[in-house]
Amino acid sequence: MQTNGKPKASVRGGVLRLLGAAGVAGVLTAGIALPAVGTVGMTAKSATEALHLAPEELDEPPLPEKTVLLDADGKPFAQFYYQNRESVTLDKIAPIMRKAIVAIEDYRFYEHGPLDLEGTARALIKNIVSGGVTQGGSSITQQYVKQVLYNKAETEEEKAAAVAPTLSRKLTEIRYAMAIEQKYTKDEILERYLNIAYFGAGAYGIEAAAKRFFGKHASQLNLAEAATLAGAVQNPNATDPNRGKRFRDRLLARRNVVLDRMAELKIITPEEAEKAKAQKLGYKDVPIPGGCEQSEFPYFCLYVRNEILNNPQFGKTQKARSDFLARGGLTIKTTLDRKMQRAAEKAIRKYVHPTDNPVAAEALVEPGTGAIKAMAASRKFGTNRKKKEMSINVVADAEHGGGTGFQAGSTFKMFTLVTALKKGYKFNDGFNVGPTYVARSPHDFKDCQGNSVGDTRTPLHNSEGGRGGFLTLQTGTWKSVNTFFLTLEQKVGLCDVVKTAKDFGIKRADGQKLQEFEPFTLGFNEMDPVTVAAAYATLGARGKYCKPMAITEIIDRYGRSTKFKPQCKQVVEPEVADATTYILQGVFTKGTMAGVGGIGRDAAGKTGTGDVSRTAWFAGYTPDLAGAVSLGDPRGPVRYPLSGQVMGGRRYGSVYGATIPGPIWKETFLEALKGVPPSSFVPPDMSRFGGCSKQCAPPPKKRDKDGRGDERGGRGGDRERGRGPGDRLDLFGGDNPFE
């Protein structure tokens, strides 16, 4: 007779050749004869010898476990997983759950060896008749082996082979099961099985399933709940309650089968079974958020995720690092400060709404450690364009999930100021400048490769054609005068300014090489808030630059801890940093932030506005905290400048560093530093930096009719006063090719 093209195995001949697999049980139940099937009986010993079966060591890679991100106070805010799983020990699983799974899956589990002799013999007869494997009869130990093989399979072909309905696969499974039974106790095998099994609804392992289905720990499961989960493992996709009513009905029916079986085995009474069967399914559909898009703080989460995915320290290949994150069962402690994070989010929401076209972003960094305390943006993270969601980390650079960044504007003037103070300039050193600047020779500016990059053809302007005049390091900075800083950059050397910026951690947001051209000091390079905040934190730490850090400790699944220390170095003398801070403090009282005001404690900073108000920035710091706020349109700041756009329900004619970024920074710091005792900056060494030495101011001229001279801003340079016109970099005729 033929079945599916294969000869039917006779009871006598088929058992002689194939039933020996069942006899493998004799390896663990030595001396027990295989029961007669039909007219043939075979001893376990002879069957094992005929098939040359022996225990074979099974490679058991660690199970994929979820990775959890914790804030600085130890509270979780994000998690990653390949499989949503939390392995637990058997004592953390309710006894009724253990009884339920054994009752329905392998009720003789504690009595037999690596396979259930009777069950497998019965299944093999069915398989012989059908010509393939159509019935399981697997013990819990065998099921565990199959799950291990399936979980460690990396390709679809390997996964298919792990569950292939072939006798050769079954025999291999038995060899592994024999070794497993020699290696572990029955309780250990049951524990491993309950942790590896899939229960449906995206829940792997009993602890994740208990939380997903019923919102409780596995140790808290009652009879009905235990029966539900025990029933789910047979065919979790067919009884997945998350797929709809039809599937929930199947799961309910399966639960009742388990309860009847438990009553039949006298694990529970018939009355207990009926009472449990009368209960509703009780599926709670508890969310299992995973990935940064479902994190409470998605931008910070993205930074941490990319820090691991791009760092060879966490794996030699991209796949190794991805597995480390998603399968490693890690606890990652971070620098995130919820109070500061909330302060940044609240301040941003006040001035820029999530549905506005421009995006505001802010990073807070701790001076002296580089610890990133907060990362916030006006847009919600996601992929829904209709809701104006954003799928890039606008707060960070491309390496950490960000984009190309925004032109940093006059925040870059700080690096020229630091360079001048390093070279011996004093507070009152200065020179006369006009309303425009044109290099006299290409050799006036040389990049760090020695190339002459001075532009003798393109005039660079002050805001609104300010007339210039004699300005010092102090007044030139307070008024943020473009022509003053271009002249200062020429005098101290473009390359030296670039080197200072690099010492302060400056690098382009897109990862490309810094552009080294004449208007470098005017901030035409695109930046991200984390990088700029860390640069200004260098001044708060008196010249010590610390690489931004978001991870403080990683604890693996075995409890082993790896701690991460700040990576800092002194990049400028403390006295030079103090002198720079002294000047930048005046930005709040005499400069472009005078209209916004300070925060009631020592603070310093610098406004910045990109070419023709395409972008706007403010970067500032105290001895305890530094922050940078950027504002720009991600559709493209060249095509969509800030001027004329609606933000926070208000349409702005012109937007500058002190219009929106400055107020966001101020309100963030007022809230973030509540309860933090004020710290003071170190006063500058006036014997070194006071007065003038290179070029002193000429005798004061007759003051303007209004008695205010150039302090208004627009008469000598950039005006970035609160909510007023300000810094405009009319680079290359108002159309910056570096945008």
C-alpha angle 712-716-719 in degrees, rounded to nearest 5: 50
Quick check: is 91 in a domain?
Answer: yes
Specify burial of residue 634 (Cβ count, 10 A radius: 0-12, 13-18, 19+).
Answer: middle
Examine residue 192 and state whether it is found in any structural domain, yes or no: yes
Q: What is the pLDDT of residues 600-644, one digit of tens each?
A: 999 999 999 987 889 999 999 999 999 999 999 999 999 999 999
Assigned domain for 452 exists:
no
Residue 289: the pLDDT is: 83
Residue found by looking up tokens 């627009």 in the block: 714
The helix/strand/coil state of 481 is coil
Q: Which of 509, 516, 550 is nearest to 531 (CA)?
A: 509
Q: What is the pTM of this model?
A: 0.81
User: Which residue type sits at 400?
Assistant: H
CATH at residue 149? 1.10.3810.10
Instruction: Summarize pLDDT for 340-399 with one digit per residue, the tens.
Output: 999 999 999 999 999 999 999 999 999 999 999 999 999 999 888 888 998 899 999 999
Instruction: Return the exposure string of 517-526: e unless at least 16 CB atoms fall within 10 Å of the residue's CB, then b.
Output: bbbbbbbbbb
pLDDT value at position 128? 59
Quick check: 272 and 223 in contact, CB under 8 A? yes
Residue 467 lies inside a defined structural domain of this protein: no
Token readout for 372 is 């990133």
Q: What is the Cα gyration radius of the chain? A: 35
Among the residues of 541-681, which ranges form H helices? Answer: 574-589, 661-672
Taking 50 as the pLDDT cut, the residues of the chain under it are 1-48, 132-136, 465, 704-739
User: In whole angstroms, how far apart are CA 11 and each of 40, 122, 133, 210?
Assistant: 8, 12, 16, 45
DSSP 73-105: TS-EEEEE-SSEE----GGGS-HHHHHHHHHHH
Q: What is the pLDDT of residue 718?
A: 46
Three-class secondary structure of residue 632 per DSSP: strand
> Into how many domains does the chain fold?
1
pLDDT value at residue 27: 34
Amino acid at 483: T
- The rounded Cα 186 to chain-centroid distance in angstroms is 40
CB 594 within 8 A of CB 487: no
Q: What is the pLDDT of residues 623-634, one digit of tens each?
A: 999 999 999 999
Do residues 697 and 470 lie in contact, with contact meaning Cβ atoms separated by under 8 Å?
yes
41 is a domain residue: no
Query: 7-27: buried (b, 16+ CB within 10 Å) or exposed (e) per residue?
Result: eebebeebbeebbbbbbbbbb
Any residues with CB less than 8 A from the CB of 639 and at least 6 apart, and which? none
Alpha-carbon dihedral angle through residues 110, 113, 115, 121, given to the nearest 10 degrees: -110
Nearest to 223 by CA among 181, 187, 271, 180: 271
- Cα 216 to Cα 209: distance, rounded to the nearest angstrom: 9
Size of the chain, expressed as the number of residues it contains: 739
Query: DSSP character for 32?
Result: P
Tokens of 662: 């400055």
What is d(CA 558, CA 648) in angstroms, rounded to the nearest whole number? Answer: 49
Quote the tokens at residue 646: 């609606």
Report which residue type is found at 253. Answer: A
Question: Residue 509 falls within a domain, yes or no?
Answer: no
| Residue from 598, 372, 377 nearest 505 by CA | 372
Burial of 700 per CB tally in 10 Å (0-12, 13-18, 19+): exposed
Please report the pLDDT score of residue 39 as a whole number. 33
Cα 85 to chain centroid distance, Å, stands at 19
Asked whether residue 145 is domain-assigned, the answer is: yes
Q: Could you count the other beta carbons within 10 Å of the beta carbon of residue 187?
A: 13
Nearest-CA neighbor of 627 among 539, 720, 534?
534
CB 594 within 8 A of CB 607: no
Residue 9 domain flag: no
Which three-class secondary structure state does DSSP give residue 627? strand
**Local structure of 491: helix, strand or coil:** helix
Other CB atoms within 10 Å distance of the CB of residue 294: 15
Between 245-264 and 223-232, two packed helices, what is the crossing angle to 10 degrees? 110
pLDDT at position 642 is 95
User: Is 5 in a helix, a strand, or coil?
Assistant: coil
Tell me the backbone φ, ψ of residue 538, rounded to 5 degrees.
Answer: -60, -40
How many C-beta atoms lie closer than 10 Å to residue 368's C-beta?
A: 17
Which residue type, as a one-letter code, is found at position 93? I
Domain containing 243 equals 82-278
Distances (CA, A) of 504 to 173, 373, 536: 60, 19, 8
In angstroms, how far is the first alpha carbon of the chain from the final one?
80
What pLDDT shows up at residue 700?
A: 66
Q: Alpha carbon of 292 to those of 78, 301, 380, 496, 533: distances in Å?
A: 7, 6, 12, 40, 23
